[in-house]
Structure 1
Amino acid sequence: MLGVNYAPEPTGIAPYTATMCRGLVARGHHVEVVTAFPHYPQWQLQPGDRRTLTRRDVRDGLGVTRVRHYVPARPTGIPRALSEISFGARLVTRSWGRPDVVICLSPALLATAMAAARTKSLGSGPALGIVVQDLYSAGVGETGSGGSVLARIFGRLESTVLGRADGVAVIHDRFKHTVVNRLGADAGRVAVIRNWTHVKPVQDFDKPAFRARMGWRTDETVVLHAGAMGEKQDLSNVVAAAQLSQSRSLPLRFVLMGDGGQRVSLERQGAGVSAIEVIPPLPDEDFGRALRAADVLLVNERPGLNEMAVPSKLTSYFSSGTAVLAATEATSTTAEELAAAGAGLRVGPGDPGALVSGVLTLRNDPLTLDELGRRGPDYCARVLSEEVALDAYDDWVRLLHRRKQEC
């Protein structure tokens, strides 16, 4: 299993990769992981890891080898590409032993491309599977980070990499449509395996006492963003909504909980605004309590995002039983997922006034707010089951191996 993100990183794709590996071990597979040192979402190495080039641990019955790579302070553009290439270089220069199946995680696409090339250079060697958590070329195009030319280049690269795989697993039906119809992958080799909630169930707790400990008043509506603070989250929109709320003396509190490349900038923007606070990630138990104690859980996306990602926070949000407010395009994968769950309200992205209005709509209709919250756990039980997903990954890995043996 080759991927740049792994436990104990608390957000993003790391929890899914780690759970998938543990699930495969539990289903009889021998799994070896090569990954980076923990650095996400803060994009910083831990002090104890900064002088270590390689470390091997045994976690949950599987071997985890960590390799140092370049971690940029601002993970955009060329620095982000160099980070992925440096990780890919560490991957391809290591011994992998004699695996039956090599699974690569994308992102990071550039590292995956390098690892896929090495895998295929072995001829009759291992089967190659790629798990797609984000559509890289769509991200370049939708965020405008490299222009249309770079988006086309990454589109060709992504198409080539996925086309060389013996099988591809994607996390949403919309992803499969894009991978098959835009990137040219063989539909028969693309499986849809949904993500699941990775937040542990929270035991009953004293919600008023927890809110008091967090400094959240009983008379205010708490709107919580929990997760990464990067460019695609466009959280400046939330700061602007908080400024608008404060100017109108509205009883709203916006809370940005997490870390990421934009955190320092957001703290500067929110300085002096009492309607917003930026707080670090909470430990697991308190994280789940925060999701349940908030009044509204927020997904905020940059205008123009449609196909590139399904926010991993949605699975955790739905499981919490708290209503979701999504500032996203009407045609986005996020909007489609929210509508399928029936667990929240959508407003337009990049519009602080619309965001405030959406919060007020939910605040002023507590019956609807409660009903939306109740629908989330039901959707998780029906569609986002961890055991169903892990069984599907088990079947997928075994299929990859069989296909390779039949060649």
Structure 2
Amino acid sequence: MSRPSPRALILGLNYPPETTGISPYTGAMARGLVHRGVIACVLTAHPHYPDWKIKPGYGQWSRNEHLAGVDVTRLLHYVPVSPKGLRRLFSELSFGARLFGRRWGRPDAIVAVSPALISSAMAAVRHQLTARKTPFVVWVQDLYALGLAETGQAPGLVIRAMSAIEGWLLRRADKVVVIHDRFAARVAQDFGVSRDRIQVIRNWTHLPPAPVVDVAATRARHQWGDRETVVLHAGNMGVKQGLSNVIAAARAANTAGEPVKFVLLGAGSELSRLKSEGADIPNLQFLAPLNDADFVSALSSADCLLVNELFGVAEMAVPSKLTSYFSAGRPVIAATDVAGITADEIRAADAGVVVPAGDPAALLDAAVSLGADPDRASQLGANGLLYCSTVLDEDSAIDQFTQLLVQLIDRDDRTTESVPRTQTIEAR
């Protein structure tokens, strides 16, 4: 008698059709597991990020979908217009409560995606009470408490509380998957998780292979001049990005008469404020989110791609936009902590230049320098493409994750009494 396919339940706040942040990775992982013979089910929220409003057509109390072989159940939760402070906390609590109250069926392994930390911790409590023999994996995309500290979004008491919750969650997981070696070191050092229970699986380039891009047509469509250096920042516009630095750099370029245009593509909680702050700057442009094809075209047609982080942000996250940037073959400017994790990634790929966070003059100088040296810009872009193909490979990452889950399930089968299970995960 053939062995039934292993079953994985993925718990996470973000899932496609959201196109930025964690969502593309969770979606690709779930689809990839299915392609490798794992029955995958996802419990998630309705799409709402980065606009912080539920996408039209969604918003039911619960909604069941079958997407690319994955059973997806969406649960309605509180989505604040301004995701800060207590509103952000209540949002995560409401999603955690929905997870806690749902039927999980009998999965062979459970994967909680963090952040959101609070809902992952509530899921861990539920797991402890009802399914503690089932392997429980925490997939860490950002370090939550460290993020609060580095962005200054919470007082010390709250940060200590979040750190205690994060440490409890990670220590009780059967395996902690992190997306960078420096994350692994922080998880071991800060939370006392033994190194043998931490596995590094890198994120990957989630965009489809780039078609031949008509750069001239794309630049004309977005009103980018042939003689100006276009510096494009794509993705979420939130507190962590510290995009007032870009506004200041654009203003300095305009004052100095430098032919540099700064473009902010995407949405986020800071968008309205940034538009107001930069309303009088002619060489600053805001673009609404684009579909995948137009997004790839925009990245490939800009002269430089920008990662900008708030002063003080150093270790909390590896910006997800980097994988897309590298795949576009354009040089990257990273305005960030020069000793931080983002700077390390740029240097590892040799795909761009690093300037200090919160220094608009240094940002402008880097843009002018790259604009004046097309050969260097081209080489840095080519280095990013090579890094994508050798280090940030999707198949390799999902193969590693699949192997991890299968090993945990096999270990569980060897050490616990066999229990008959259904052929599918019920999350309804």
TM-score category (smaller protein)? over 0.9
The equivalent of 1:43 in structure 2 is: 52
Structural RMSD (CA): 1.0
How far, CA to CA, are the matches of 2:311 and 2:254 in structure 1?
24
Q: Which of 1 and 2 has higher RCO (CA within 8 Å, sep 6+)?
A: 2
1:1-150 correspondence to structure 2 within 5 Å? 1-50=10-59, 52-122=60-130, 124-150=132-158
1:1-400 correspondence to structure 2 within 5 Å? 1-50=10-59, 52-122=60-130, 124-400=132-408
How far, CA to CA, are the matches of 2:163 and 2:407 in structure 1?
27
How far, CA to CA, are the matches of 1:24 and 1:73 in structure 2?
34
How far, CA to CA, are the matches of 1:89 and 1:186 in structure 2?
30
Name segments (4+ residues, structure 1) moved above 4 Å. none
- Deviation (angstroms), 1:362: 1.0
Question: Which stretch shows the higher mean deviation, 259-268 or 40-49?
Answer: 40-49
TM-score with structure 2 length normalisation? 0.93
Residues 129 and 400, structure 1, Cα contact 8 Å, conserved in 2: no
**Deviations 1:247-275 (Å, cap 9, x if unpaired)?**
11110100000010001111111112111
Residues 224 and 256, structure 1, Cα contact 8 Å, conserved in 2: yes
Where 2:273 maps in the other structure, the secondary structure is: helix
**Is 1:402 aligned to residue 402 of structure 2?**
no
Where 1:102 maps in the other structure, the secondary structure is: strand
The equivalent of 2:4 in structure 1 is: none
How far, CA to CA, are the matches of 2:214 and 2:339 in structure 1?
39
- Deviation (angstroms), 1:85: 0.5
How far, CA to CA, are the matches of 1:363 and 1:60 in structure 2?
42
How far, CA to CA, are the matches of 1:120 and 1:139 in structure 2?
27
Structure 1: gaps spanning 5 or more residues: none
Where 1:89 maps in the other structure, the secondary structure is: helix
**Deviations 1:265-302 (Å, cap 9, x if unpaired)?**
11111112111011111111010011100000000000
**Deviations 1:339-366 (Å, cap 9, x if unpaired)?**
0000000001111111111111111222
Where 2:264 maps in the other structure, the secondary structure is: strand
Residues 166 and 404, structure 1, Cα contact 8 Å, conserved in 2: no
Residues 228 and 260, structure 1, Cα contact 8 Å, conserved in 2: yes
How far, CA to CA, are the matches of 1:402 and 1:168 in structure 2?
18
Where 1:31 maps in the other structure, the secondary structure is: strand
Where 1:134 maps in the other structure, the secondary structure is: coil
**Residue type of the alignment partner of 2:143:** L
- Deviation (angstroms), 1:122: 2.1
**Deviations 1:182-201 (Å, cap 9, x if unpaired)?**
11112111100000001111
Residues 213 and 300, structure 2, Cα contact 8 Å, conserved in 1: no
How far, CA to CA, are the matches of 1:402 and 1:74 in structure 2?
44
- Deviation (angstroms), 1:140: 1.1
How far, CA to CA, are the matches of 1:399 and 1:169 in structure 2?
14
The equivalent of 2:5 in structure 1 is: none
Question: Which stretch shows the higher mean deviation, 372-381 or 358-367?
Answer: 358-367
Where 1:194 maps in the other structure, the secondary structure is: coil
**Residue type of the alignment partner of 1:328:** T
**Residue type of the alignment partner of 2:346:** L
Residues 230 and 304, structure 2, Cα contact 8 Å, conserved in 1: yes
Where 1:10 maps in the other structure, the secondary structure is: coil
How far, CA to CA, are the matches of 1:100 and 1:121 in structure 2?
16
How far, CA to CA, are the matches of 2:338 and 2:247 in structure 1?
22
**Deviations 1:369-394 (Å, cap 9, x if unpaired)?**
11111100100111000010010010
Residues 88 and 111, structure 1, Cα contact 8 Å, conserved in 2: yes
Structure 2: gaps spanning 5 or more residues: 1-9, 417-428
How far, CA to CA, are the matches of 1:124 and 1:80 in structure 2?
29
**Residue type of the alignment partner of 2:147:** G
Where 1:57 maps in the other structure, the secondary structure is: strand
